[in-house]
Every structure is written in C-alpha cells, then in structure tokens.
Amino acid sequence: MSQNQKREISGTGDQSDYSWEVKANDRRFNNLFTKKSLLFFTKKKYADNSIKTSKYNFFTFLPLTLFEQFHRAANLYFLFVIILQTVPAISTMPWFALMLPLLILLTIRGIKDLVDDVARHRSDNAINNRPCETLQEKSCSFSREKWKDIQVGDVICLRKDDFVPADLLLLYTSEPASLCYVETADIDGETNLKFKQALMVTHTRLCSPEALAAFDGKVVCDDANSNMHSFIGTLEWNGEKYSLDNNCMILRGCKIRNTEYCYGMVIYAGFDSKIMKNCGKFTVKQTELDLMMNSLMVTVFVILIACSLSLAIASGFWTTWLMEKHNYIPPLRSNITPTYSAFLTFWAYTILMSTIVPMAMYITLEFVHLVHSKYINWDLHMYYVEKDMPATVRSTNLNDLLGQVEYIFSDKTGTLTQNIMTFKKCCISGTLYGTNKCDENPEVYDFTWNKYAEKQFSFQDRSLVDLVCQNQDNQLKEFFRLLAICHTVMVDKDGDELVYKAASPDEEALVNTARNFGYVFVSRTQDSITTNELGAERTYQVLALLDFSSARKRMSVLVRDPEGTIKLYTKGADDVILQRLHPGCTIVEVTEQSLEIFAQESLRTLCLAFKEVDLSVYSDWSRRYHQASVSLQNRLQCLEMVYDEMENDLKLLGATAIEDKLQDSVAETIQLLKNGNIKVWMLTGDKQETAINIGFSCGLLDDDMDILNEQKICDILDDYQEHNNNLSGSGQDLLDNGIFRKHRSSLQHTKMALVVTGDFMVRILGTSNFKIETTHFFRKLTDRFYRKARNPCGEEASMREYAFVDLATQCQAVICCRVTPKQKAMIVQLVRKHKKVTTLAIGDGANDVNMIKTAHIGVGISGLEGTQAVQASDYALAQFSYLQRLLFIHGRWSYLRIAKFLRYFFYKNFANVFCNVWFGCFNGFTALRVYDSWFIAFYSVLFTAFPVLTMALFDQDASAERSLQHPELYRVGQMGALFTYKIFAWSVVKGLITSLASFFVTYGACHDTAGPGSTCDYQSFAVITATSVLLTVTVQIIFEMSYWTLAAGLALVIGPAAYVILSLLTQSSPFYTSLPTIFTFEDATLNTLRHGFTWLMILLAIGISILPSLLASFGTSMFGNNKVHHRNSYGARRQTALNTVAMTTPFKRGSLSRRSSYAFSHKEGYADLITRGTSLRQSDANVPEVPGEATEE
C-alpha cells in the first residue's frame, strides 16, 4: 500500500476532537465561526492575513506615547513638582526651571518612538502589500490580490521563487505526483530543499482552475498552534474523508523552489499561522543600569522627602520659638499657624531641591545612547563589503547592556555556518589526497577539461586529477562511481546545465564532487540511473535502494552494471562501515589514520565501500526483501534486518572529507568570547550529530571535553532532587552539595559539555511556559519568595528546572538540538529565571525570533535567509564574528562611559542641592534658595553638562586593539563593578563633602566681616558658594576621565566660561531694571569675583572637596590592586570556574573519533519516493501546462 493511499484512509479520530473547520472557496461559511473577545463581545475566529507589528496610528500616537512616558516614575515626579510650582504659596523656583527640560525630554523620546514605529509601519506595509494570485470562483481564473486580503479557505496559486503568504494545504503542483520543493531559509536559515506532497486524490482531480473553482472540500484540523512539525486533520470531500499530516502543509515564509507552479488552500492566515505563533510577544527591554536607576530614583526621592520633612519640622519649631521669644517680630501672617507654615515649608523645600532627581541626566542620557548607537552604525570594521551591509542598531537604549553579557544563545545554520559543504580531502585505497593546511602555496588545479564541471570548483591536489584522467585504477573508478550512483539526489535540466535537487547539502556536495571529477550523474528513472563516466554514458539498473535512517547511519544501492555484474555500493558513518568489512581488507588501518587527520581539521567524514554480489545470493536475498517490503507488521524492522544481511563483507574503497563551511572567524570569535568569561550555547533544530560536528568545527567543543549523555543527566538530576528533599529543600547549588563528587570517578576530564535534544527537555522539564519579570523590584521579591517557598511546597518541576539550569551553567559548552522555536525561548527564559545573568540571543531565521525577543539583547544576522530575525532584533549584524567588536569594544566602552556618567551626575547634583539644606539652618528654614534662580536653571544643562558629556561620549580605559587582546577586561561589566549601590553611596558622600566645604568655607570666611568693601551680603555669599560648587565638580571630573582628548580639555573650560558670561548677562542693569523679580542679582558676580580673597576662599573649598578623591586614588595605587582589571586575580577565578561537570559518552573522542557527514543527511523516505517513481517525470509531454498569468483584479 503506497504512502498516499495510506494517507487517504479516513482518520480514526472523532470529528469533535477538532475545532478548526475551513471550507474551500466559501468565505461566508468560514466567517460564521466566532470566538469570545472582551466581556460579552465576540469576533471572527479566523484571523485575516494582515500583519501588524506597529504600536501607534495617527490618532493614538500622542495619547499612547504620553501614557507610556508617564509610566516612568521620574516623569511622574517631574510633573508632580511642576504642578506644585503653580501654587504661589509654596513656589520657590521659576516655572521654566523644570517645565522646559520636561518638555524637551518628552519630545526627544516621542520623536524616537515615532521614528521606530514609522519603520515598523513600512515593514508591515511591504509585507501586507505583496501580490498573490487568488482564485475567483465566478470567473474560474486567478487574479492578483494583496497578501492582506487573503482569507482562510481561499485557493491561491504560487509560482517558482514565490514566498508562501499563509499556511497552505497543498492541492496540486506541476511536479510528478504533486511534489513541491520548498526552501525554508526565511524560517530556519537552511537553504537545502525540502519536499511536500499533495494527496493523490487532489493531484488527480484538481489540476485546472475550473476544477479548483468547483472544489468545496472542508478541512477539519487542530486549532492554530505553534508546533511547526505537526499537523493533524482530515479533508472531507464528496462524502469521503482523507487523512492529512504535515507533509501536505506548506508554511508561511517558505519559498517555492524548482516547482513551476502549485495550488494551495489557506488553512491558517496571519497571526494564526505557525510562524507567527512562534514569534512571541514584543516586550520593552531594559538594561541592568535602567533597572538599578529605577531603584535609585526611589532612594533619591526618599532622601529628598527626608530632607524636606526635616527642614519643615525644624521650620515649625523655629517659628514657635521665635513667636515666644521675639513676639515683637511678626514671623507669620495672623491667619497662619506654625503647623500650617511647616506644611507649606515642606512643599517649598520639595520644589527647591527637586533638581536632586536629575531630569537633565535623562535628556543627556538619551543623546549619549544615540551617539553610542551611531558609533556602531559607523564602525567600518563591522561593515560587510560583499553584501553592502553595515551593522545597524535598532534599539538605542541597550548599548551599555552589551558590556555585561554573560550568556550567548546562538542558532547554528546561517549564524555560525554558511550551510555550504565543500569537498576538501579524500582517502582512496589507502592514499590521502588533498593539501594539508600547513602546506604553503598549494597548487590549485582547475577542471576546464570537464564540460560538466562547476566553474567555481577547484581541488588542491593535481595527482588525483591525473589518476582520474588516466582511467586505469579500478578502485578509484569504483570510488567516484559510488559517489555518482549511491544517493537520492534528483536531477533536472536548465538548458544544457544539470540542476541537482538534493534534500541535504552534503548529498549535493558529494554528487557534485563526482560530477567535477568526470563521473556525472545524468538522469534516473524508477528502476535505473544513468551516468556519464569520463565521456562514456553508462546506465545502471537499480535493483534495490536501501534507504538511510538515523539508526542505520548509512545507505546503499544495489545495481546491475552494463556488463551484467551486480554490485552493492554503500556509504555511511565510519563506525558503521568499518564493522561490516571483509576480514581480508588491507587498507583499514591507513584509512583510520586518514579519518583521524580529517577529524583533527574538523572535517565531516564518510566511509565508502562496495562488493560484488553473486546472482544466486541476490535471488535469495531479493525474495526475502520482497517479503519484508510487503509485511503488514513491523515492516521497517524487517527491512532493516534484510538490509543487514546484504550489507556485510564489504570492500573498503576509502573515505571522504567535507568541510561544513563556517562563517568567517567564527572559531576565533567563540574562543575570544570564552576568554571573556562569556558562555556560548548552541540552540539548533538540527540533529545531534550535526550540532556536535559544528561544535567541534567552531571550537565550542574540544578533545579535552567529556560530553554528558542523557542518562547521566537524569542520574545527576535525580540525585540532586533526592538530596534536596532530604535537606528539606535547602536549594543548594549542584557543586556545593557534593552531588558531582560521586559521579566524577567516571569522568576522564575536568572540562565538560552538555548535549541534549528537545524531546529530552520535554521529558525532564515538561512544556511549561515561563514569563520574564519586567521590573527589578518585583523580580527580587519573586526570587526571594520562590527560593523559600519552592522546595518546602514540593514543587518538583521547578526544582528540576533549577537543577538542570545549574547543571548546564556549570558546563563549558551546551548544545541543544532538535529544539523548536518555543523551546529555544524556553531555554533562554529558564536561564533568566534561575540565574541572575545577562543574556544575548543571535540568529538569522524566523525560528529564532522568539528567542531573540526573550533574551535581554537580540541580535539578528542580516543575510540571504530573510529579514524576520532582523526585524525582531535589537542589533543587526552581517556576520557572527562582528560580536567581537560589538561586545568587547562598543559594549564595554558604552558600559564604562555610562557608569561613569551616572555616578558623576549624581555626585554633582548632590553637591549642588545639599547647599540648600545647610543654608536653611541659617535662614530660619524659610526655603530661601542659596543660589540665583538662573544658576539653578543652567547648572545641569549648561554649566556642568559639557565635561560629563565628553566623558560619556569619548572616554575609554583601553584602546580597541587592547580590548580585543585582553578580553578579560570585559569581566568589569559582567560584575557590574563600575556602578553599584556602594558606588552610588560614595557619590552621595562626595557630594555631601563638596557641599559642606563649599558652604561652610564661604560661611566661615564671611562670618562677622560686615564693612565697606566686604562680601558678606546674601548675594555675594550665593555667588561664592555657587562658584565653589561649579569649579569643584569641574575639577572632580579630572579624576574620572581615563582618556583625554581636545574636546575633553575644551569642555573643562566651556562650563565655567558659560557661567561667567551668563551671570554677567543675567545680572546686568538693563535686565534688572526691566524685570527685577526675575533678574534679582544685579552685578553680584562682577562685584564679588573681582576680589582676590574671594578666590582664596574658592580655592580652599576646592582643595577640601577633592581631598577624599585624592586620598582614595593614592590609597588604591599604593596599597591595593584593582581586582576587576588585575589579570592574575581574573585568571585565578577563571581557573576555579573550570572545576565543573561532565561525563563520558559514546561519542568519546579519546582517539579522535570521527564525525559522520550523515549528521546532515536527509530524513528517511526519499528512497521510497524514487522507487515508486512519484518524484520522476516520465516525459515532457506528460507535464501539464502552466496556467495563464493572473489578471489584475
């Protein structure tokens, strides 16, 4: 019974098990289905095909952006203070001091959001307005419509190289038996072709637009879901039911290849499609510094309230004392009590010192983030010339987080590899061919003598080409003959060119190798295969095709050559082939040595063998083969037993070595990341062998590692759970509780790696979905509650999650294979949930979108594999290797600069604001400001802005080259050592010291000095104090800067110069005469600063203020070492961190075990397509005509 016939048998499940019903060509029927929306409202059950990723429209932009802006606590605080300023009784500052900066801040952020959303609108419109040919039932023809107008049940026509607009049920194609070849590069980054096949009943009956217009079949299937590898449903048509599976479905985002045209019925559209279900939700990402800033803003606000409250209470007591002791002085109006006066004083001081929450810092920080993003965009070392692709920053507020990454989660295909297989070396009859890497100036021999050879193919060993041309070595003939015959590749012709359709890139590479050496696969039929061997055409009769499976790790073909000899050709993994050789084989040892050489160079290997089969042996075997092929029970097992009978006593021909081409500098990048204490996890949908091969190729795995197998992982997790249960759920880490000590006796190395599959993770962790906490405060509360309540409550699943993550994070490398897009995101979520680390996810396909959105930082590789990963990312790069500069240069510098920026900004604000507190103690706590209002307005935005701005833009502690040479410097950001709560407290203390020195030095020098020519009046006192604070904070930044430029030197002068100029301007007589209530300090600065003793007071205040910084710098240099930058200390920590976990594995590479190229091979079943003939064209006359071009609607 054929595969199609089996699929057309009615399903055994009850129809009520499915709730998704779609009828072809009947929009009215499909629109009858509804689902519950909000409250008692309902909406259509089936989504339309339009995609919307934008956040705003013309009407909602202003209210929504303001709503989002005022979700920030700082903005609400500023708005609150501005409202207070409108109350005359408590207003102590001019309205423009806070209103203007807030408007600037909201405008800058609003414009940035608008620009980002316009880009999303353009992307959405570009996708939604793509053209597609949709069947018009009335006219029985196809007309062009936009993707957004497609609905479920529509029948559409797709042509070669078209993208699939929705999840389709394949109905008919121009290929034999309605095969359809698709490329899934836009989904998973893989460029090798995959095939889908329509039901035979639709293939025979729905081959014309007229038949399709009359088609009224109904598909009943499972609801829209995210499982991209599963589809279960039935087609009800003409009173019959036909079983449907994933082989009938073409998913949105695929590209039609090598198929002239095909018809499909829309099952899932728009956000119901599987790829969109896997995209995850958009979340606003915040850096660790942002989260810390939210906490610090609360701390600063508490300090402000505490100071205002203390001064208000003191004001009440002082007023009461004054009324009692000096009743002849009326301190208050008759209708105001001391309590009410204190209440007003509280709000007055709150407004006066409101600049302690630095609004200017937020404005400057937005500009700094923007410039840091431009640095990345402008970096020519991250510009990919071949594709004209620069690095692109899509989220400007995450740059400093790039300097704190601890875990990188990377896709494989298209991210680490190019998915290009290149034939590099081979061993034939014990002789090694191919130039070693150490050979200099290898001779490259071209293949122009072969008209079938690829133009770009070359082989660096002329001796092999000469032997092929001599055509005398029978072993060499059989070697290349095997490559040309033993495969499941299908061939098509484009003029005189042969076009191979391979299901895996390694298959195509081997067939192309034979083709380039003169053994050309020309054509095949259901029972024959034709080759051109050095110009002579030969046709082999295919007697049996022994298909590949992951368990067999080999495939064979049994043929009768033109001379009548029956031969078996076999290729497969070395550990399988070498066990099936004839005992008299003499080249086994030298071939194994060659395989070890290949393995050392991380090449992917295959062993080739053959044998001649007697006619009598074949006759007996053929009878058993036929019985097994028609067996109704355990057919596969029976076939494999028969295959094993034939595949023995083989004669070894040799081995091939294929390079799975990595992207440029991938191995060097991963090694640099390791040296920078960054752990790299590979998350891929490929097979385990594939992932391990690439792991060794890119340096993620090495020969000194033991690889944990699944059984060992289960044993460790079980022991951990039992141990914690015995300790009443203490939740100890794996290394702390001694669990690994009893397992270490079976381990041979101290460096370990963990390799797991998606199915295994489902078995041990389940399929739970986890949410990432969005705020630092709630995350801390959750973590504390979770750690205390999890184990005592017996939450077994959570405990296993924690144990698995703890186990994985102790390994030097982690590889997760056969994982779905949701599982990729789940792994990232687990690490974020159980480890306080910064994560980065990098990928190139739509299957990486969810992972990219889930990680703290998402990086999309912009290549030929689609743009969905880039559109969902925070940073777009052309090559994986550009992570070096992105993290170790731009990320580290950005974190360094912003950390210094924040701690200095807090320092200078506290230094300025605390002077009002000390002044309140001497003015009767009346909320009288110590400075001119214009000094308050321009202090942060002009007078002290330029030095801190240049430091935030240009400062660096090491050059770009040195940062790459010493990746251990990156440890600074991972530890968060440059801006912590302790450093914030030190900034507050320094600000306190500066304010004390500036105020009390001036107060002490001016005390009781009244007289002609003295400077003891209020305005002179205010000028001296303000000048002392300004010059002190300007000098203080000298201790912060590590990298001096001309701009930094000028910035130190611009601030004080601007202060003098603006002071002279705002204190001039014309302004005072015109507006005396606003310009109150007439010529105060000019009259005060012209005295020499005034500058002596200022210099004394500066000296006292910077003394703590001088002592701290001297103490650090003389008596202590910087623990963060000290390389020996880092090396010691890193050596300690290597005492982690691992285990032995069947893949153990103690003697450099080889890695089979079948890790990349296709799934089983391709041989069945060939032997049934469903994939082969019989003749051009049987090919149906391509339907006419669609008409514009």
Active site residues: 411
CA atoms within 13 A on the CB side of 1154: 27
DSSP annotation of 929:
-
Strand, coil or helix: 459: strand
Q: Which residues pair with 221 in a beta bridge?
A: 20, 233
Q: Which residues pair with 433 in a beta bridge?
A: 426
Gyration radius (Cα) of the chain, Å: 37
Task: Tell me the residue length of the chain.
Answer: 1193
Strand, coil or helix: 114: helix
CA atoms within 13 A on the CB side of 624: 14
Here the tokens at position 855 are: 């990680």
* 1043-1049, Cβ contacts within 8 angstroms, sequence gap of 24 or more: 1043/954, 1043/955, 1043/956, 1043/957, 1045/950, 1045/954, 1047/950, 1047/953, 1047/954, 1048/947, 1048/950, 1048/951, 1048/954, 1048/955
In sequence order, which residues have a C-beta less than 8 Å from that of residue 498 and are 6 or more positions away?
452, 491, 492, 515, 520, 521, 522
- β-pairing, 679-683 vs 813-817, is parallel
In angstroms, the CA 159 to CA 261 distance is 4
- For 222-343, strand residue ranges (E) read 233-237, 240-244, 249-250, 255-257, 261-268
In angstroms, the CA 345 to CA 336 distance is 12
* 1078-1086, Cβ contacts within 8 angstroms, sequence gap of 24 or more: 1078/94, 1078/933, 1079/934, 1080/932, 1080/933, 1081/932, 1081/1019, 1081/1022, 1081/1023, 1084/932, 1084/1019, 1084/1020, 1084/1022, 1084/1023, 1085/1023, 1085/1060
CB atoms within 10 A of CB 1043: 16
In angstroms, the CA 544 to CA 1161 distance is 20
In angstroms, the CA 182 to CA 179 distance is 10
- β-pairing, 705-708 vs 751-757, is parallel
Here the tokens at position 687 are: 């097979």
Q: Are 874 and 854 within 8 A, CB to CB?
A: no
Nearest alpha carbon to residue 685 among 844, 854, 823, 503? 823
Here the tokens at position 365 are: 């920080």
Strand, coil or helix: 1050: helix
Q: Give the relative orientation of helices 462-470 and 474-485 as an angle to the nearest 10 degrees.
A: 100
Here the tokens at position 1124 are: 């963060």
| Per-residue CA distances from 988 to 147, 365, 902, 909 (Å) | 58, 20, 12, 9
* 318-321, Cβ contacts within 8 angstroms, sequence gap of 24 or more: 318/924, 318/925, 319/924
First and final C-alpha spacing in the chain: 45
DSSP 849-892: HHHHHHSSEEEEE-SSS-SHHHHT-SEEES-GGGHHHIIIIIIH
- β-pairing, 751-757 vs 813-817, is parallel
Q: Give the relative orientation of helices 710-726 and 796-809 as an angle to the nearest 10 degrees.
A: 120
